[in-house]
A and B are shown apart, each in its own frame.
Chain A
Amino acid sequence: MLQIIQKRKYAYLFSGILTTASLVLLMSWGLKLGIDFKGGTLMEVQFSRDPVPQVSEVEKSFADLSLQSLTVQATDNRGMLLRYLASDENANDRVLKNLQSFDPSVVQLRTDFIGGSVSDQIKRNALTGIVLSVLCIALYIAWAFRRVSGAVTSWEYGLGAVIALAHDIIVVIGIFVLLGRYYNIEVGVPFIAALLTILGYSVNDTIVVYDRVRENLLRSQRKEDFEITVNRSLNETLGRSINTSLTVIITLFAITIFGGDSIRYFGLALLIGVIFGTYSSIYVASALLVTRYKMKTK
């Protein structure tokens, strides 16, 4: 049997460093926000022939179009990505006409425009969504474990799961702060969707372990030390915790590697979240139960 719970101070130390580092990164550098949160336009175009105009030339040609914070970035396959804040609804038309002066058959592959009022609303919704999910999951676990016996109450089970969840999404956010800083990866609505999905999915493993703890507590009738019971439950469920996550990790790898640009980073956020979610279910969520038990019985 693996002595997982007994070594919990190492897990606490590791997770503590990870979450603190993530929070420090978030507060100092911050996430690189996409147009979903900032408002603005993202236009992807594809030129019909080589050579593709130079980025600097294109930038220069936009000088008198009065576009705010314009950035131009070359992509694969003769593509170009333009980001700007539009002053009015016809700005896209002028941008496209301007690009047509370089290549009359340039194709507008994709254009996303988010107005200021919409991005504000997205921000509010994102925050509400996350808070609401965490609350609902805590409530559900508290309710599902309402008949649990022993010193630790069902509310504390819910709280343990939620702390583990918070840990998971904070780490994902921390990693995306780094990705934004070094690889210019922006976060938008898909990132928030990934975070919420991580909340809903990662708690599954925690539930499996807690479920076993509940079952073993009923069987052992307190003849066994709580710490031993939790550790035994963890060992008994280790195989399924890893295997359930593994199947999801396999599919998420497929999305991240083969999925194309628009869902790749969505898949990556989920992947990181599920990996850390599995870790925290095993090393953090159950350990928290034991820590709480010790606090109460001392």
Chain B
Amino acid sequence: MRQHIKKRFHFAGVLLLGLVCGIIAYPQAVRFIPPLFQAIEKLKVNEGLDLQGGIHLEYKADMSQVPSEKVNDALAAAEAVIERRVNAFGVGEPLVQLSRSGTERRIIVELPGIKDIEQAKKMIKETPFLEFRELADPEAAKPFDEMNGQTKLQAQTILERATKGEDFSALAKEFTQDPSLKDTGGDLGFAKKGTYVPEFDAIVFDPNFKSGEVWPNLVESQYGWHIIKKIEERPASSLSQQGGPASASDGGDGDNREVHAANILFMKRSIDQYPDLMWVATGLTGKNLKSASVDYQSQGVGSPQVALQFDSEGTKLFAEITKRNLGKPVAILLDKEIISQPTVQNEIVGGQAVITGNFTMQEANNLVKRLNEGALPVPIILVSQQSVDASLGQSALKESLLAGLVGLGAVAVFMMLYYRLLGVVAVVALLLYSAMLLTIFKLSVFTPFAITVTLPGIAGFILSIGIAVDANVLIFERTREELSYGKNVFKSLAEGFRRAWPSIRDGHVSTLITTVILMAFGTGFVKGFAVILALGVLLSLFTAVVLVRVSVMFMAGEWMERHPKLLVSPKKLLE
């Protein structure tokens, strides 16, 4: 009698477990109890980046410049800086973690749901490099004057050759420093007045300049020295364009003419074409920055300004710089580009400066954020990247869930057809197994061992459905065998469970051995697969052995002995 109560008690436990896991796995089942439904619906499976879309980046930290006792501090600092930078993206739950691979130290960054991958990569790695520069000594421009003197001399000799009647276009091909006109022999085509720079324009439209001649002097413009040849000119009417070559006599007057000219350019060089030479370092850079902020007071007046506060060294440097450069411009460079070039009005001793670039509010905010974060303490090198677009993840999820349903359905049909009532029990256990696994996924989020379900993880889950019934197949086959020896049904069942156990145990252990090795193997794909397969194998051992046993023993009774063929298909004795 006590045995009987124990059986019922166990079976009630199975039912309760099934109910709880069923509701957690499929909250829609309790839609009619809104408070419960809402509470349970909040539980979500932690989807991997390959399903929800996102990017997984792995960086190698270059520790070659860091003394070994400071390695951990430097890494922690780098992790903190990267964490602040990725938090600025505002994507859902970014992850930054340190890992080790042999002697290499790595930093892993995961950004779920990120849209602009390349932008994100830049923001993670790059530190804005802020720098103050002052005008170079006037001496620095001297080499340019010498160079320009020589260029002018050369231009003079070529001009002489051109005026003496040498082929103009051949000379142009050889000597012009305007690469766009090299191939055409300096030919500029027809143009109206006002097309060229004023100095040039004035000459080509000079009425004394006859077609077919070369202008006897060099013409100087902002670009350099020009040797000009007028080829032809004509009235600027559209009709005449169809006519033959026009001559000066039938040309219109003033603005109403078009001139076809050719030109050989000797370029003038000046120091302002070379910012690196024109502006020299002052030693004041972003490292002297104490803080940066957006200057809201200037809002509305123009574009927002970025206010800087230097540290004590920076303050001293800035005071010296402003004193030295009174009335002269200084340049503020961000990532090697001049963003502002203010003229110093008076010496600044307070260590404060503002940058008035053409910022939008957003840009100003970003710049301030990045300036305040500072530089990465160690250089990092990207060693691997996996990124998946959300749309691809969603379709992959759909496909793999379909595969799972088909697999589950087909296995269920096979088990019920082949093993009859015992098969039905196994299938119910299999459904319970799926619900329990989903429940574990959802609840694991609250533990330190949160399980992330990835695409290979789903593959592991589907595979585990096939493996989960293996234990039942072994037990049922053994039961059929015992029945064929003429034992009664109850005895056969008990024997089936008992004698199948060693094979079940050994088989599961061998699968677990390889999943543990796969987990140690470590790459994302493998880990996602192995964790879920291992979990599935362990859990299925529980459902297929314990739950099926409790349920079958609960059902066991007189009726089984009368209808053994209902319970399980009979097996012929071996001849």
Q: A: which residues have CB within 8 A of B?
A: 1, 36, 44, 89-90, 92-93, 96, 107-115, 117-118, 121-122, 125-126, 129, 132-133, 136-137, 140-141, 144, 189-190, 192-193, 196-197, 199-201, 203-204, 207-208, 211, 232, 235-237, 239-240, 243-244, 246-255, 257-263, 266-267, 270
Contacts and interface: CB of A to CB of B under 8 A. Distances in A.
B29 interface: no
21 contacts: A107-B389, A108-B387, A111-B117, A112-B385, A115-B60, A125-B522, A129-B521, A193-B529, A197-B514, A197-B533, A203-B507, A208-B503, A236-B574, A244-B474, A250-B407, A251-B465, A254-B404, A257-B403, A260-B403, A262-B455, A270-B463
Given A108-B117, A193-B529, A247-B470, A255 B462 contact: yes
B556 interface: no
Contacts of B385: 92, 111-113
A211 B118 CA distance: 57
Contact of A189 (B392, B406, B526): B526
A161 B216 CA distance: 99
A110 B387 contact: yes
Question: For the side of the interface on B, what is the size category?
Answer: 35 or more
B559 interface: no
Nearest to A259: B403
Contacts of B474: 208, 240, 244
Contacts of B389: 107-110
Nearest to A92: B118
Contacts of A249: 466
Contacts of A140: 506, 509-510, 513
Contacts of B518: 129, 193, 196-197
Given A235-B574, A254-B403, A267 B459 contact: yes
Contacts of B41: none
Given A121-B101, A189-B526, A204 B462 contact: no
Contacts of B258: none
Contacts of B502: 211
B511 interface: yes
Contacts of A93: 118, 121-122
B515 interface: yes
B114 to A, nearest CB: 11
Nearest to A254: B407
Nearest to A86: B382
Given A132-B517, A141-B510, 19 more contacts: A109-B391, A114-B383, A114-B384, A117-B104, A137-B514, A190-B456, A196-B514, A196-B521, A200-B511, A208-B503, A247-B469, A248-B467, A249-B466, A254-B406, A257-B403, A258-B400, A259-B399, A259-B462, A260-B395
Nearest to A266: B459
B191 interface: no
Contact of A109 (B381, B388, B404, B411): B388
A251 B411 contact: yes
Complex A-B, nearest 4 residue pairs according to Cβ-Cβ distance, in ascending order: A200-B514, A260-B399, A248-B466, A254-B407
Contacts of A129: 517-518, 520-521
B549 to A, nearest CB: 18
Contact of A111 (B383, B387, B415): B387
A261 B458 CA distance: 14
Contacts of A260: 395-396, 399-400, 403, 455
B463 A251 contact: yes
Nearest to A200: B514
Contacts of A201: 467, 510-511, 514
A243 B381 CA distance: 51
B517 to A, nearest CB: 5
Given A107-B389, A197-B463, A122 B473 contact: no
Chain B interface SS verdict (over half): helix
Chain A interface SS verdict (over half): helix
Given A197-B518, A260-B399, A262-B455, A207 B510 contact: yes
Nearest to B415: A247
Given A125-B522, A197-B463, A258 B58 contact: no
B470 A113 contact: no
Among A137, A203, A248, the one with the most B-chain Cβ atoms within 10 Å of its Cβ is: A248
B188 interface: no
Contacts of A259: 399-400, 403, 459, 462
Contacts of A246: 414
B525 interface: yes
Contacts of B459: 255, 259, 263, 266-267
B237 to A, nearest CB: 40
Contacts of A115: 60, 381-384
B463 A258 contact: no
Contact of A208 (B407, B462, B507, B526): B507
B110 interface: no
A43 to B, nearest CB: 9
A204 B511 contact: yes
Nearest to B502: A211
Contacts of B465: 247, 251
B302 interface: no
Contacts of A253: 407, 410
Interface string B548-575: 0000000000000000000000010011
A281 to B, nearest CB: 11
